[in-house]
Amino acid sequence: MKDKPYKQLEILEEDMPHDLKVAIETLVTQASIMDEYNLEEIPVEYVQNLIDVSLDYPEYDELVNNLVDACGFDFEYFEDGPLDVKDFPN
């Protein structure tokens, strides 16, 4: 199998926190793999990880929401519990 080079994503800001960058890059890489191998969905764990990391950085909420939505997931925040990610068809 031949490695595919991935360019740095334009949506990643230079001063963006490292853990958030890694979570975004991982999700986008999984989306590319999904497309390349004609898989039906991205494992929800990648989306959950991005959301969990992003909770520390509310200034990136819009970006994270757009990425999660583009992947075909919908999520809800619960006042007294963890984040719940639901998989909805696009």
At 37-71, the pLDDT tens digits run 998 888 888 988 998 999 899 999 888 888 888 88
Residues 23-42 have pLDDT tens digits of: 999 998 898 888 889 988 88
Between CA 38 and CA 40 the distance in angstroms is 6
In what helix (H) or strand (E) does residue 87 lie, and over which residues does it extend?
strand 84-87
Domain ranges of the chain: 18-87
In what helix (H) or strand (E) does residue 73 lie, and over which residues does it extend?
strand 73-76
